[in-house]
Structure 1
């Protein structure tokens, strides 16, 4: 799949050819800096992008292409087959409606429950996400940040979807509430067998919640693999930089000399040639300025470079970097 935005200055490539697959009961994490294309990818899955976006490729939901659905079919799929937990529940919830009404709305719109039954189901959903049933009568401003995020999760679960897309679901939450929300998400995925796509810039959060990770940079996936393996042993320099950006508790060297990544992501309208990461890469080789590598097994095993689809049944760790290719290493630049 690829996504390009049309603008007065020209076309802006936001997602540049990505292939991913999520299985039932599996959690896939998307990581990367702001501007890497994570949220664009997530919003594309249910056609929530503005009209200025042009999407190519396929988005298959249980074998049905979302991009070719008419509006009636798309409305039937949203919330019922796939739902979204938006970033910042304070802005996603309607401030002048009680939260119980907002959770009940998808149930009523899709004809899943009559009003009386919907109220009963709302009470059960609130209790399932750790809130008392009487909170259905509250307005969003009467709830804390963590409680509002739980309401969003309850709304996403209301119609028992097959897939949930969570875009930065713990942003702006304190550490304790963040831990509670992540524990809740993990337990719900396990209990209900729901597929989850979770987006975050925080690799530690994704490693603790997801089965697999896909690291994005400049609109491309540059590393994939089992979540813990990518977090602790990233093979792409960008994935390694993201993992090392977090200090280690109790490690004086980590506290006194924090590691990070200099520079900024490239302007999508002025992407550098070759590997888009090479201007910021500490181990770039001369060929990185003109050579763009596809995802390759990090163990160097032989594979067809054209077959770079990340499938849920695979546990292979891959990276789009010359340093994982089974070739003689060049001299460093």
Structure 2
């Protein structure tokens, strides 16, 4: 069954019921060689108590999408569309409104913890700062207690509050960033590769903390990762991006186990299934490189790398089409009679 895609058709919450509703978002960076379109017409919805994963190769627009949710783009960026947080457009907020939303309403876990922590302040002081700003009624004893709770939540000893960033490992810095994002009990957490620098055991612990936060308190989360297997295990739904566009969206287990789009299939095949002998003979990888956003060709951006590309793919860029509770942007789906190039 195929229909034109809408938020309801793809299984996401309706805009007025969503905690986060991104609608037709475009982000273009100004460069010396012209405009660089990093995000091109993205729609994405996150409901309360829901984890939505965003997957794709480096350069597909994931981190740009994450930073735009809290309007953290540099002045060189041109942004259009809507980012509705609890019904209010973040892109249209005045500075005072935006400042009140950041950390208290919505927080972000940045990918580069090394560059996100202040090297001359102790960890405890940096964890306490958002609480002093957004919860001024808390006394100092409660702030100190809350800092200890946050460190314990992410698997660190409370005594680490006295440490400076240079005294922590890369994984410990990343855990501090996650603790900071949780400091003011936000309604939405945007996690940009939050477990990149963590070993497998700590990664599992941190993902469990994030999952409990969402399930237990009804927090919404947008989780960005290269690892489709992690997203499939943690998320309710997965959005796959390529060249700044959404090319597939649907329930996490279905996108991982039975992807509709060839690119999603390549991402899924990159992660072997434990106990599945066939996984040993999975393709070694996807040939070619992602396209240069400044020199996008006519037609489907994935066509030059697609093993199933048809002549029509070189001229027409497909839009998202709904397939029951899923959506994908590929003319091959449901049309097996098209001849491969």
TM-score (normalised: structure 1): 0.90
Partner of 2:64: 40
- Whether contact under 8 Å (2:26, 2:42) holds in the other structure is yes
Partner of 1:275: 300
Q: How does 1:81-92 map to 2 (within 5 A)?
A: 81-92=105-116
Partner of 1:13: 37
Partner of 2:328: 319
Aligned residue for 1:323, secondary structure, equals: coil
1:39 CA drift (Å):
0.3
1:230 CA drift (Å):
0.3
Partner of 2:196: 171
Superposed CA deviations along residues 156-212 of structure 1, whole A, max 9, x for unmatched, are 111111100100111132222222221221112112211100111110111111110
Partner of 1:303: none
1:258 CA drift (Å):
4.7
Partners of 2:329 and 2:273 in 1: how far apart? Answer: 27
Where does the alignment leave 5 or more consecutive residues of structure 2 unmatched? Answer: 1-24
Partners of 1:252 and 1:228 in 2: how far apart? Answer: 20
Decide which structure has greater strand share: 2
1:141 CA drift (Å):
2.8
Q: How does 1:108-187 map to 2 (within 5 A)?
A: 108-112=132-136, 113-187=138-212
Superposed CA deviations along residues 290-317 of structure 1, whole A, max 9, x for unmatched, are 1121112346xxxxxxxxxxxxxxxx12
Q: How does 1:202-217 map to 2 (within 5 A)?
A: 202-217=227-242
Partners of 1:21 and 1:324 in 2: how far apart? Answer: 24
1:125 CA drift (Å):
2.0
Partners of 1:235 and 1:251 in 2: how far apart? Answer: 21
- Whether contact under 8 Å (2:332, 2:338) holds in the other structure is no
- Whether contact under 8 Å (1:146, 1:178) holds in the other structure is no
Partner of 2:102: 78
1:89 CA drift (Å):
2.1
Superposed CA deviations along residues 80-139 of structure 1, whole A, max 9, x for unmatched, are 101011113233222221111111000112244243332122122222333332221122
Partners of 2:149 and 2:195 in 1: how far apart? Answer: 23
Partners of 1:279 and 1:184 in 2: how far apart? Answer: 41
Q: Match for 2:225 among 196, 200, 203?
A: 200
1:256 CA drift (Å):
6.5
TM-score (normalised: structure 2): 0.88
- Whether contact under 8 Å (1:164, 1:197) holds in the other structure is yes
Partners of 2:42 and 2:312 in 1: how far apart? Answer: 23
Q: How does 1:213-228 map to 2 (within 5 A)?
A: 213-228=238-253
Superposed CA deviations along residues 231-262 of structure 1, whole A, max 9, x for unmatched, are 01001000000111123445666446653101
Aligned residue for 2:38, secondary structure, equals: strand
Superposed CA deviations along residues 6-56 of structure 1, whole A, max 9, x for unmatched, are 112111111110111100110000000001000001111111111110000
- Whether contact under 8 Å (1:247, 1:258) holds in the other structure is no
- Whether contact under 8 Å (2:135, 2:184) holds in the other structure is no
Partners of 2:32 and 2:157 in 1: how far apart? Answer: 50
Partner of 1:23: 47
- Describe the shift of the 1:179–1:81 C-alpha distance in structure 2 as closer, same or farther (beyond 3 A): same
Aligned alpha-carbon RMSD (Å): 1.8
Aligned residue for 2:241, secondary structure, equals: strand
Partners of 2:299 and 2:247 in 1: how far apart? Answer: 13
Partner of 2:338: 330
Partners of 2:135 and 2:204 in 1: how far apart? Answer: 34
Where does the alignment leave 5 or more consecutive residues of structure 1 unmatched? Answer: 300-315
